[in-house]
Amino acid sequence: MSHHPIPPGMRITQVAVVVRDLQKTMGAYHKMLGWQPWSVYDYKSPLLHDTMVRGKPTPYRMLGAEVHCDPIDFEILQPVEGPSIYKEFLDQHGEGLHHVSVVSKKEDVHAALKEFKNKGVDVLMSGQIGPDIEYYYMDTEPTLKMIAETVSGHAISLKPSWTYP
């Protein structure tokens, strides 16, 4: 096994799909790829707060499931209530790969946000989970052909609503 130096630039910490049926999709990943255990979260108020869509305060709710696939996490998201970029994605593209989470070298979400803003990239959607997780989906699809998310912390560190299998 070769040991590569840490690459320059941002690192990938997570890849995510958006789906209509989280439970069914999680089962398919478990069956086909053997991924487990999944931590499932019901992201709703008060755990999920300060949610914004395109700069406007917008309440929304989603289900999320995460599994650790060394060295990154894989996430399945299902929009439940309210307008969100997840719902828009399902309407425009159907289910599929939605975003890649990237972090700056020091894992400072505000440094990453500043880097994006300096490159003329705005925030599509954001929110906070609990006291210290902040996430920002950036408007990178026109240039990168995918949405980049930058975050402080990961939900995988929270106590899940339930686990699977």
Alpha helices in 47-161 (DSSP H): 85-93, 109-118, 141-144
What is the Cβ-side half-sphere exposure of residue 129, based on CA atoms within 13 angstroms? 22
Task: Give pLDDT tens digits for 9-54.
Answer: 889 999 999 999 999 999 999 999 999 999 999 999 999 999 999 9
CB neighbour list of residue 94: distance below 8 Å, 6 or more residues apart: none
What pLDDT score was predicted for residue 4? Answer: 63
What pLDDT score was predicted for residue 90? Answer: 98
What pLDDT score was predicted for residue 140? Answer: 97
- Cα(18)–Cα(75) distance, rounded to whole angstroms? 9
Strand order in the sheet with 61-69: 56-57, 48-53, 123-129, 133-138, 147-152, 96-103, 11-18, 72-81, 61-69, 38-43, 162-164
Tokens read off for 86: 């997840």
The answer as to CATH 3.40.50.970 being correct for domain 11-153 is no
User: Is 84:62 a contact under the CB 8 Å cutoff?
Assistant: yes
What pLDDT score was predicted for residue 108? Answer: 86
- Cα(26)–Cα(40) distance, rounded to whole angstroms? 10
In the chain, where the domains are located = 11-153
What pLDDT score was predicted for residue 107? Answer: 77
Which residues of the chain carry a pLDDT beneath 70? 1-7, 154-156
